Amino acid sequence: MKLSFAVNGRKQSLDLDPRVTLLDALRDHVGLSGSKKGCDHGQCGACTVLVNGRRINACLSLAVMHEGDEVTTVEGLARDGPSALQAAFVEHDGMQCGYCTPGQICSATAMLEEVAAGWPSHVSADLTSKVELTQDELRERMSGNLCRCSCYPGINAAIGQVATEVPAEEETAD
Amino acid sequence: MKPFDYVRPGERSSAHEAARDGGRYVAGGTNLIDLMKLEVMTPDTLVDISRLDLDGIETVDGGLRIGATLTNSDLAADPRVRRDYPVLARALLAGASGQLRNKATTGGNLLQRTRCPYFYDTDTNCNKRTPGSGCAAIGGETRNHAVLGASEHCIALHPSDMAVALRALDATVEVEGPDGAPREIALPDLYRLPGATPHIETSLAPGDLITAVRLPAPSGDRQVYRKVRDRASYAFALLSVGAVLRMENGRIAQAALAFGGLAPQPWRDREVEALLTAETPSDALFEKAGEVLLAKADPPPGAAFKLPLTKRVLKAVLTEATQ
Ligand SMILES: Cc1cc2nc3c(=O)[nH]c(=O)nc-3n(C[C@H](O)[C@H](O)[C@H](O)COP(=O)(O)OP(=O)(O)OC[C@H]3O[C@@H](n4cnc5c(N)ncnc54)[C@H](O)[C@@H]3O)c2cc1C
Ligand code: FES
Ligand code: FES
């Protein structure tokens, strides 16, 4: 089946079996091996990519469902060098084996946008007020990304640093 | 995965047509694709409804009309839901992960299938997966199985958090048949108890398309959703309680209580609600409510812990909601 979509800003036209997941399409057909396959069942977050700016598990989505979409992988986050989050992960040693790292970084990139948009989380005491990205909030919002090496202290420190460096935009939801 | 055809209709009439030919709808895909990988579900044709323009949310008659393909993230972030239906926002936010909620949809969440491990494991017997084959859960590992509403043929739970809140909020579901004819189903009538046919989970016929969920104007200003699970996040409920309550002059004027993790469908017990109505809150009253709720409970051995857990959590939820 024919599919055209944009990956990291470049148009891709593929001819795929409908069974191919977005994750396999990115890795095996577009040739971007940054996104990782941990569980292949939505349970670990290693495959997290951004689709039209939102984070999703690429393993639980069929490539053919993404006609016309804009997909960003960890490779696409680096523009003129590493993104702030990518640099912070290096600085804070937010990895050991590194397998979960692309998913962590894609997830955190979109998570910060969600905070900026005022989305509440399970641990938000008040559903309607502005979100403060406390450590509790950060951990809850990143719970969809597991790290088998348990590098959570470094991961949280890296994300926490970027969250304070880039002040959240004005809340858009009331 | 078994091979299948994929179609992506741009309008509802073509979706209905594809469904009439035996197609199965896919929305976010987070449950269906998972089950297709394991060959627990093997549709011949997938009908992608994600571009059907069913992702709106609007205020209707003082309530809300929530599109079937609106994502769980967008629903939980909607200012009206956060303000007027916090039990729903909380239930959604307690489910899955940020990534999954960005794909999961209203309709798909309602129709997601059980997480019973034997349903997932095609090497074991499961009456839901293969009618008549038996139930490997009975006599097996039953930590997260039903204590109410199960049958000798199936003890699987309905896993949704969102559906528990919708049940407490008296939601109804708008459906279009494969001939395009619309109808509305009250949420309790959507789900069926397993009985002797656990593979028939809902009252929907093949090709029925959920188009929206309707919420009446909220009837109670005290809303609580509490979920207990094996880890603090990104896990299904062992137990959850959604409460919508109204107090008048220190008495409970109205109480709607729905439970997840207890039964094959989001559970509600009118007897419990009647017992609470017009009463002054007290520990003794809340304990009585727990007794009545579980009077008919018949837990498999592994899930016996849910009985004391349910009583304690219910008491805590009612205490919070009546303060
Ligand atoms: C790791 C993991 C953890 C999770 N944790 C939780 C949790 O804690 N709490 C929770 O509640 N859920 C949890 N979920 C489940 C998740 O909420 C569901 O997978 C999701 O809501 C399904 O929505 P979907 O749009 O992706 O459905 P799909 O997978 O697209 O569809 C599911 C079913 O619904 C049918 N369908 C979909 N839309 C319609 C429609 N409009 N009309 C008719 N039929 C339709 C499909 O044919 C299919 O049978 C978890 C999932 C995973 C993978
Ligand atoms: S590989 Fe997708 S969530 Fe684990
Ligand atoms: S660094 Fe090894 S899994 Fe996270």
Of the candidates B5, B46, B98, which has its C-beta nearest A55's C-beta? B98
CATH class in words for B5-50: alpha beta
Cβ-defined contact of A61 to B29 (cutoff 8 Å):
yes
Element (H, E) at B318: helix B306-322
Whether pLDDT at A34 is above 50: yes
Q: Give, rounded to a whole angstrom, the gap between the first and last alpha carbons of chain B.
A: 52
**Does any CB of chain A come closer than 8 Å to the CB of residue B30?**
yes
Read off the pLDDT band of A165 (50, 70, 90): confident
The answer to whether residues A62 and A20 touch, using CB atoms and an 8 Å cutoff, is yes
In order of A128, B72, B97, B166, B225, the CA distances from B81 in angstroms are 10, 11, 19, 12, 14
The answer to whether residues B146 and B115 touch, using CB atoms and an 8 Å cutoff, is no
Of the candidates B3, B5, B93, which has its C-beta nearest A122's C-beta? B93
Residue nearest to atom 14 of ligand 1 (CA): B96
For B307, the token pair is 């009985």
Interface with chain B: mutation pick from A22, A24, A49, A62, highest number of B CBs within 10 Å: A62
**What DSSP line would sit under A33-101, residue for residue?**
--S--SSSSSSS-TTEEEETTEEEEGGGSBGGGGTT-EEE-HHHH-SSS--HHHHHHHHTT--SS-SSH
Q: What single-letter DSSP state applies at residue A114?
A: H
Cα–Cα distance for residue pair A19/B285, rounded to 1 Å: 55
The answer to whether residues B185 and B203 touch, using CB atoms and an 8 Å cutoff, is yes
Cα–Cα distance for residue pair B119/B236, rounded to 1 Å: 16
- Please tell me the pTM assigned to this model: 0.97
pLDDT digits (tens, 9 = 90+) for B150-186: 999 999 999 999 999 999 999 999 999 999 999 999 9
Stretches where chain B sits below pLDDT 50 are none
Could you state, in order of their start, the residue ranges of all structural domains in chain B?
Answer: 5-50, 222-322
* pLDDT at site A171: 41
Helix A84-91 vs helix A152-165: crossing angle, to nearest 10: 140
- Separate counts of helices (H) and strands (E) for chain A: 6, 5
For A174, the token pair is 């009331």
Cβ-defined contact of B98 to A67 (cutoff 8 Å):
no
Cβ-defined contact of B86 to A127 (cutoff 8 Å):
yes
In order of A12, A36, A46, B116, B278, the CA distances from A31 in angstroms are 11, 12, 17, 37, 66
CB pairs under 8 A between A and B: 105
Domains delineated in chain A: 2-77 (3.10.20.30), 78-166 (1.10.150.120)
pLDDT digits (tens, 9 = 90+) for A116-149: 999 999 999 999 999 999 999 999 999 999 999 9
The ipTM assigned to this model is 0.96
Cα–Cα distance for residue pair B79/B65, rounded to 1 Å: 14
Cβ-defined contact of A21 to B100 (cutoff 8 Å):
no
- Separate counts of helices (H) and strands (E) for chain B: 13, 12
A51-69 burial code (b ≥16 CB/10 A, e <16): beebbbbbbbbbbbbbeeb
Work out which ligand 3 atom sits closest to the CA atom of A148. Answer: 3
* Rg of chain B taking only CA atoms, in angstroms: 19
Cβ-defined contact of A120 to B77 (cutoff 8 Å):
yes
Average predicted confidence (pLDDT) for chain A: 95
CA atoms within 13 A on the CB side of A121: 27
Sheet holding B45-48, edge to edge: B5-7, B45-48, B24-26
Whether B5-50 shares its CATH topology with B222-322 is answered no
Whether pLDDT at A172 is above 80: no
Work out which ligand 1 atom sits closest to the CA atom of B35. Answer: 29
Assess whether the C-beta atom of A39 lies below 6 angstroms from ligand 2.
yes
Residues pairing with B172 in the sheet: B186, B214
**Does any CB of chain B come closer than 8 Å to the CB of residue A128?**
yes
B222-322: CATH topology is Enolase-like; domain 1 (3.30.390)
